[in-house]
Structure 1
Amino acid sequence: MNYFFDQHFHVMNIEHPNLLSFFASLDTGIPDLITSGALSPNYILTGKNLKGSLMLNRITNTLTTFEQPIGETLAVMEDDLEGKFTSHEEEAPKPDQPYIREGKMHMRSQSYDKLAMCPQLMDFSSNEISREGLYYPSKKTSRILKYAEDTLAGFDLYRKDHPEGLFEFFPFIGITPPTHSIEFIEELLETYVTKTHSRQGQFKEGKQKFYGVKFYPPLGYNPWPSDQKERDKVTLIYDFCTKYDVPIMTHCDDQGFRGISPKEAWKYTSPATYKPVLEAYPTLRIDFAHYGWQYNPLHKKPLTILTAAAAKVPDSPWFFELVELMHLYPNVYADFSFSGTNSDFYILLDNYIKTLDEMKAETVLSRSLFGSDFNVNLLKVESYTSYYRMFELSPFADENIHRFVQTNPMAYMGIVE
C-alpha cells in the first residue's frame, strides 16, 4: 500500500485527560508553572499568538475537537485536507490545492493512496491524590480502557460515515506503569496490541488493533526505575515489544501535560535516561517524539545558545542526546510532531544535517518521521492543513519528504499487507 503517514497525533474528548492529576503536580503553585517553562517563548505563547483575538480563536479551535466524538474529529481532519474549510488568518500557510484531491493524498511531487494515521493514546490513569489541605481526596483512576474503547468506536464511526475515506488507522496504546499492577499491564498488552504487522489487522474483529505502545514520561513513566517492582513492569513491556517487534513512541520535549513535578518529568523524559533500556534491549523500536525539543532556557547554557544561533542549528541538549542514540542503535527514530509548528525547526534541522559526514547524515535522514501532534498543534497553527503546508515549505528535497512520510515510517512500523 502506498501510504502517507501521520506518525503522531491525538484525538480525545474532554473525558480522557486527567486535570486533577495535572493540578496536583503543581506542588508550589504558579512558581512551579513558570519554572516548568510552559510560558517560555516559542512554546505556546508567542508574539504572534498574543495579537488581538488570535489566541482565543486558537484555544476555541482546539477545544472544539474535545467537544465531539473521536470519529467526528477524524472526519474533520480529512475534510480539512480536502479543502472544505475557509482560512480566517491572513498569514496562515495555505496550499495551492487541497492535499486530498482526485481520490489521493498529494505532497510535493508524490501522490499516495491512503493516509496511515497513528493516533497516540495517552494513559491518564492516576494513583490516589491525597494531601494535607485537600478537602475532597481523589481516588485512584484507570482511564486507558475507556479511552481505548472510545478510540476503536471512533474508527468504526469514521468508516461508517466515510466508506470511501483515505484514512487507515494504526493506533498506539498508552501505558503509565506506576498507576497499574503488573497483571493489569500484561492483560492490557494481550487484549489490545496486535502481535502481527499485517495491515488487515485493523479491519478484523476484536480489540487487538493497536500497533504500538505510547509512553508519556511527564505522567510518571520512568524508563528504567531503580525499584525492582516498578522495573519488572517496564521490562515486561520491553520484553513484549522486543518479542513481537512492536514499536514504542515516547514523548520527548520539555513541555506538555504533566502528572508529576517538572524536575521529575525532565529527568524521565531525557533521551539519556533510555541508555540503560537500549543497552538491555538494543533492537527496541523507539520513536522519540518532537525530536527532543526544549523550550525552557534553564536547560541550555548561554554559550551553547549563542553558538547554535550563529551556526543556525538546534540548541537543545536533548536533540543531541537523541541523535547520539540514533548512531548507536539501529531502531531509534524521531518525529517532527509539534516542533514543526515553528518553520525554523525544519531550517535548523536541515542545517544541522548538512554539517554531518555522509554516513551520519544518512542515519538522521533515514530515522526522521513526519507527525503533526494534532490537536495540540492547533494552539500554534490555524489548522491541520496549515501544519501540512509548513512541512511542504520546508527546505528538504522531495526525495527526503517522501522518506519522512513513507519510507521511514514503514521501516519503523513494519506494516505488511
Structure 2
Amino acid sequence: MSGNNDLQTLIKELKEPVNYREFSKNLKNKWEGTGKNILIAGNEFKKVVLTPLMMDFNNKGFTGLDKEKIHYYLPPRKQIIDQLVDLFTGIKQYYDFSDIQLFEIFPFLAINTENLEFGNESTRYYKKTLKDILNQYFKDFSKGDSGDDRYEYLSNKLDRLRNPQSNGSNEKFNPLDSGFYYFAGIKLYPPLGFDPWPDGNDGKSKQKLKKACYLYEFCVEKNIPITTHCSNGGFMVAGKEDARKFTNPQRWENVLEAYPKLKVNFAHDGIHDGDKVETEWNRTILGYVIKYDNVFFDIADNVYERNYFKRFFNFILKQNFTSVQLGKISRRMLFGTDFMMLLLGSESYYDYLASFSETDAFNNAFVDKYAICNKNSFEFIFGG
C-alpha cells in the first residue's frame, strides 16, 4: 500500500461527513492515478475479495431466557430472508453505482442447525430445512474442484448478479429471487446457540448432533469452507455459560476427530477476555492447525493493536514448534477485519489497515503479508 500515497491521503484526511458523489469522483481519479492497483508487500493487486459473513439471529432459544435478568423483551433477531434481501441488494447497488469496481464479493451463508429441521420430519416447522438450504446453494460444489474452478464458478454467479442481461435475456435483478443468491462458504456463530458437538444422551441432543454431523459431512463432501466465531465476545442469544462452552475451540475436538478433512477457520484466533495472544483458546487452535490439514485461523479484530503482530509472533516462537510446524502455521493464517466491529478499537477502517500495512513485524518473520492476504485466503475460500 505504500505506493498509493495519494489514495491513502484522500481517505485518511476524511474527518467530516462528505458529499458521496464528490468523494467518489475524487476517489476514482486517485484510483486511476495509481494504475488501478494496491501494493502489499511489494505485490500489485487489482481486486480485493470481500466475504461478508452473515449471522443467524433467529430467536428460537430466546423464549427460555429470563427477561427480568436480560433487561429487554424484544429478541435480537433479523430473519435470514431479510438479511439476504439487504445483502444482495447492497451488492447489486455497489456494482451499479460505484465508480471503482475494486471488490469481488463472495458472501458466507449463516447456518444454525439449532434453528432448522433436519429434512425428513413428518411436520416441517420451517419453509426450508437444513438439507434444502445446503442443496439449494451448494449442490454444484465438488470435492474435486480446483481453486481456479471454484473461483470461476462463483465469479460466474457474481457476473449474473452484476448484469442479469449479459446473456441476451430480458432478466432483471430481483432481490426476492433466490436464484440470484450465491455463497462461497458457511458462517457458524456459537454464541447465538450453535453447538458444534451436542453431547447429551436424550433424544433431543441426539437429533441436534445428527444435524450438525450432516452439515459437516456435506461440507467435507463438497469442500465447503466454514468460518466459526471464536472469541468470548460478540452477540449472545444463548446463555452466558452455554455461549462460552459452545464457542470454546475445545468444543471442536470431537468434530475434527470425526471429520479430519473439514475445512474450518477459527475467526479472531481465540480472543479471550480481551487477550489477543497468549490464551488457552489460541493454543488449542494452533494445536488443531498442526494436527489437521484444513484448519485455518484469522486475525479479524486483532490488528488495531499496534504491537499485535510482534507479540503474536513471539508467542508462537516460544512454543518451540519445529520449522515444519511453523511453515504449516504460516500457511493457515488469514487476514481479517470484522468490519464494522473493528471500529470499537480503531479510529477508522483506514487506521486498522494502516496498522497491518505499516508494521515491520513481518521483517524476517516466519510468515509474510503476501501469504496472509492472498495465497492462504485463496486456498481457504476457493481451494488449493
Give the TM-score taking structure 1 as reference length.
0.69
Structure 2 residue corresponding to 1:83, chosen from 10, 14, 18: 10
Name the SS for the 1:340 alignment partner: coil
Q: Within 2, Cα distance between the matches of 1:140 and 1:265?
A: 15
Question: Once the two structures are superposed, what CA deviation does each residue of 1:112-135 show, in whole Å capped at 9, x if it has no partner?
Answer: 010010111011111152667779
Residue identity matched to 1:123: D
1:201–1:358 CA distance, 2 compared to 1 (3 A): same
The corresponding residue for 2:332 is 367
Alignment correspondent of 1:335: 298
Tell me by how many angstroms 1:261 deviates: 2.0
- Measure the CA separation in 1 of the matches of 2:370 and 2:309: 15
Matched residue SS, 1:411: helix
Greater Cα offset, 162-171 or 182-191: 182-191
In the alignment, what sits opposite 1:145? 81
Which residue number in structure 2 is paired with residue 224 of structure 1?
197
Corresponding residue for 2:348?
383
Greater shift, 100-109 or 226-235, is seen at 100-109
Which amino acid in structure 1 is aligned with residue 220 of structure 2? T
Question: In the alignment, residue 45 of structure 2 is paired with which amino acid?
Answer: Y
Task: Specify the code of the residue in structure 1 equivalent to 2:10.
Answer: G
Partner residue, 2:259? 281
Determine what percentage of the aligned residue pairs are the same residue: 25
1:123 matched to 2:56? The reply is yes
Deviations 1:133-153 (A, max 9, x none): 779976897711221222111
Q: CA deviation at 1:165?
A: 1.2
1:223 is displaced (CA, Å) by: 0.2
Structure 2 spans left out of the alignment, 5+ residues: 2-6, 17-29, 120-128, 142-149, 162-178, 200-204
RMSD: 3.0
Partner of 2:159: 203
CA shift in 2, pair 1:136/1:413, >3 Å: closer
What is the match of residue 132 of structure 2?
Answer: 187
**Residue identity opposite 1:282 in structure 2:** P
CA apart distance, 1:365: 0.7
Q: Decide which of 100, 103, 107 is 1:167's aligned counterpart.
A: 103
Q: Which is greater in Rg?
A: 2
1:82-121 matches, within 5 Å, as 83-84=10-11, 86-88=13-15, 101-121=34-54
The equivalent of 1:247 in structure 2 is: 225
Q: Distance in 2 between matches of 1:187 and 1:82?
A: 48
Is 1:401 the counterpart of 2:334 in the alignment?
no
Q: How many residues align?
A: 316
Q: Is the 8 A contact 2:286 2:329 kept in 1?
A: yes
Relative to structure 1, is the Cα distance of residues 136 and 378 closer, same or farther in structure 2, using a 3 angstrom cutoff? closer
Cα 1:295–1:343, aligned 2, differ >3 Å: closer, same or farther? farther
Residue 214 in structure 1 maps to residue 214 in structure 2: no
Is the CA contact (8 Å cut-off) linking 2:11 and 2:350 kept in structure 1? no
CA contact (8 A) 1:116 1:168 kept: yes
SS of aligned partner of 1:338: coil
Q: Which runs of 5+ in 1 are unaligned?
A: 5-79, 90-97, 298-312
Please tell me whether the aligned partners of residues 327 and 363 of structure 1 are also in contact (alpha carbons under 8 angstroms).
yes
